[in-house]
Amino acid sequence: MRLLFLGDMVGKTGRTAVWEQLPGLISDFKLDFVIVNGENAAGGFGITEEIFRETLAAGADVVTTGNHVWDQRDALIFAPREERFLRPSNFPKGTPGRGSGVYIARNGARVLVANIMGRVFMHPELDDPFQAGERELAACPLGEQADAAIVDFHAEATSEKMCFAHFVDGRASLVVGTHTHQPTADHQILNGGTAYISDAGMCGDYDSSLGMDKEEPLNRFLSKVPKGRFEAASGPATLCGVGVDISDRTGLAEKIAPFRRGPRLEETAPSFWA
């Protein structure tokens, strides 16, 4: 199975770039399944139902989120009825929406997708992500109820992301880090066959501070006095994520490589998709 994961969409420029390019990527690379993190898609803070639906219309199979999931109150309304919209599964019991689901890929494979949020340096501090991962993977084991299992681990600390990946190694196809918006260079396949990257990066304007216009963040570092609100940067967006080939026989990863397309970062795509 051929899977593309795209990191956090940030603002109008990020979401528009995804909407415009994703249909061609699916066609050109013959993608079986696409996951997009959308938690910063609405002006850099949260996501609306309209944006969610446009992302599905562009070809995304699932939209994941993170700590900004409820920044747009609209999400509290549509989350309970949208099976392809995920919020972190370790929110307390009774939180609207769902943290995981099983979806059918274009090649007929059953794909478990779980959205889990870390606790180190994160707000709000949610339930234990390791217990949440154990619960999700035990309820839908790879090779039994699922042909592939993907975890979007939304966290700040690299150590927490890496330890979680080692914890589920051999039981998940891919653990992909999100939240920090900066693509890392540590993509690898762990000893048990789980693909991993600490952060997929973002889909947004990299002439910025994490996708936000850089003037106000810079001002706050220099003066400690806010002059205005954070606003999403509006320059041309670069898409960032990872491509993974997953074995149809074992459900484990065979290959992983970064995907980057846009004006600011060096462009790259998985060579095994050529």
90 known ligand binder: no
What's the pLDDT at 250? 98
Structure tokens at 19: 């909407």
Q: Give pLDDT, residue 134.
A: 98
Using an 8 Å Cβ cutoff, are 99 and 88 in contact?
A: yes
With beta carbons less than 8 A apart as the criterion, state whether 231 and 203 touch: no
C-alpha of 142 from chain center: 20
| CA 82/CA 68 separation, integer angstroms | 18
Q: How many CA atoms lie within 13 A of 155 on its CB side?
A: 28
Q: What is the pLDDT of residue 266?
A: 97
Question: Residue 137 has which token pair?
Answer: 């993977």
Residue 80, Ramachandran bin (φ over 0: left; ψ between -120 and 50: alpha; else beta): alpha
What tokens does 253 get?
């990863």
pTM over 0.95: yes
The pLDDT tens digits along the chain (274 residues) read: 999 999 999 999 999 999 999 999 999 999 999 999 999 999 999 999 999 999 999 999 999 999 999 999 999 999 999 999 999 999 999 999 999 999 999 999 999 999 999 999 999 999 999 999 999 999 999 999 999 999 999 999 999 999 999 999 999 999 999 999 999 999 999 999 999 999 999 999 999 999 999 999 999 999 999 999 999 999 999 999 999 999 999 999 999 999 999 999 999 999 999 8
Q: Is 166 labelled a binding residue?
A: no
DSSP state letters, 132-198:
HHHHHHHHS-BTTTBSEEEEEEE-S-HHHHHHHHHHHBTTBSEEEEESS-S--S--EE-TTS-EEES
C-alpha–C-alpha distance, residues 54 and 59, integer Å: 9
Catalytic residues: 68
Q: Establish whether 123 is an annotated binding residue.
A: no
Domain boundaries, the chain: 2-261
**CATH fit for domain 2-261, picks 3.40.50.720, 3.60.21.10, 3.30.70.590, 1.25.40.10:** 3.60.21.10
Q: What is the pLDDT of residue 201?
A: 98
Residue 8 labeled ligand binder: yes
Q: Has 207 been labeled as part of a binding site?
A: no
